[in-house]
């Protein structure tokens, strides 16, 4: 659906400040408490905490990643790094605000470091796709690190350089992550806050980046994928385009794609036997799982 007369091509072009929607003065009204952590969503926060902000695709799943980390005091989702004051969701989706879907993270640096947050950021999205994450297309899905002091800026830049080197070594496309200082942040609507806690079966795509591009996978026998079909039932189904597993089988990547109009047949592996740590979020179905060796980006 086109909103405000904007077509899909326009959604991947950043508007100029002059062309951005005017917005409004009134702030979004949201609940006072975090639905999971039972901590405040808005300042003031404890003086021992710091704030960080990241854009890494759909903010529902991104927020959940951070609120699960020990040392994170609170999280909130919103719109940031754009031009329109106090936008709403429909305005951001039309591509005429310049805003990104972002997660505000309030953390205790004595328990979890900013470098730890950066690790979660890099390992849980694909920073090489420009104005998109998988099937989610638009300027609001771009990769971004939004820093609030010089130390954060230095650490973000260092991690960006390290990650770019890892991508280069594995023949991947360049990352397109933006690093911006003191980007504005506006809270998203209340129903977006902690969405996956309120809707456990909700959409939570994971678009992690495989370290080896498809064009090169068949060139090296050590990188040739091993494919198998698995059937998953009910809420166990992973609602992912791709999923990179960095668990006990170190260095392995798994691409998970739905296979339509096919069946697994007798004797093929059940999900809980072959891949016990695939996340639960979505639909039942049949999925093609391909495993790639020797491409861990862990540093």
The set of residues, in sequence order, having a beta carbon less than 8 Å from that of 6 and lying 6+ positions away, is 94, 95, 96
Biggest CA–CA distance in the chain, Å, is 61
58 is catalytic: yes
Tokens found for residue 140:
């609001």
Give whole-number Cα distances, 190 to 8, 35, 198, 217, in Å: 27, 11, 11, 44
For the chain, give percent helix, strand, coil, nearest 5. 25, 20, 55
Q: Find the helix or strand (DSSP H, E) in which 145 lies.
A: strand 143-147
Burial 276-289 (b: 16+ CB within 10 A, else e): eebbebbeebbbeb
Could you tell me how many residues make up the chain? 299
Quote the DSSP letter at residue 50. E
Tokens found for residue 247:
């668990």
Catalytic option among 58, 93, 172, 281 = 58
Helices (H), the chain: 59-67, 89-93, 114-123, 150-169, 195-198, 214-217, 271-274
Tokens found for residue 129:
């796709």
What residues act catalytically?
58
């Amino acid at each position: 659906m086109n909103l405000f007369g904007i077509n899909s091509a326009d959604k991947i072009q950043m508007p100029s400040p002059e062309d951005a929607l005017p917005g409004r003065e009134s702030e979004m009204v949201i609940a006072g408490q975090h639905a999971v952590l039972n901590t405040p969503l808005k300042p003031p926060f404890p003086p021992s905490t710091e704030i960080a902000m990241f854009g890494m695709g759909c903010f529902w799943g991104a927020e959940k990643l951070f609120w699960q980390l020990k040392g994170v005091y609170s999280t909130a989702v919103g719109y940031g790094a754009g031009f329109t004051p106090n936008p709403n969701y429909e305005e951001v989706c039309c591509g005429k605000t310049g805003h990104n879907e972002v997660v505000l993270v309030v953390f205790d640096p004595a328990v979890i470091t900013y470098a730890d947050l950066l690790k979660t950021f890099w390992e849980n999205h694909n920073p090489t796709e420009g104005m998109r994450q998988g099937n989610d297309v638009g300027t609001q899905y771009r990769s971004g690190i939004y820093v609030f002091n010089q130390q954060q800026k230095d650490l973000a830049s260092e991690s960006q350089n390290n990650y770019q080197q890892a991508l280069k070594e594995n023949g991947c496309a360049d990352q397109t992550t933006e690093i911006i200082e003191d980007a504005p942040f506006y809270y998203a609507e209340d129903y977006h806050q902690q969405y996956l806690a309120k809707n456990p079966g909700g959409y939570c795509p994971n678009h992690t980046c495989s370290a080896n591009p498809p064009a090169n996978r068949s060139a090296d026998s050590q990188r040739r994928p091993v494919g198998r079909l698995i059937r998953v039932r009910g809420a166990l189904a992973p609602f992912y385009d791709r999923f990179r597993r960095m668990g006990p089988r170190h260095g392995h990547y798994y691409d998970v794609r739905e296979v339509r109009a096919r069946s697994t047949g007798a004797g093929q592996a059940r999900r809980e036997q072959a891949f016990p740590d695939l996340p639960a979020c979505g639909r039942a179905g049949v999925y093609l799982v391909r495993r790639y060796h020797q491409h861990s980006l862990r540093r």
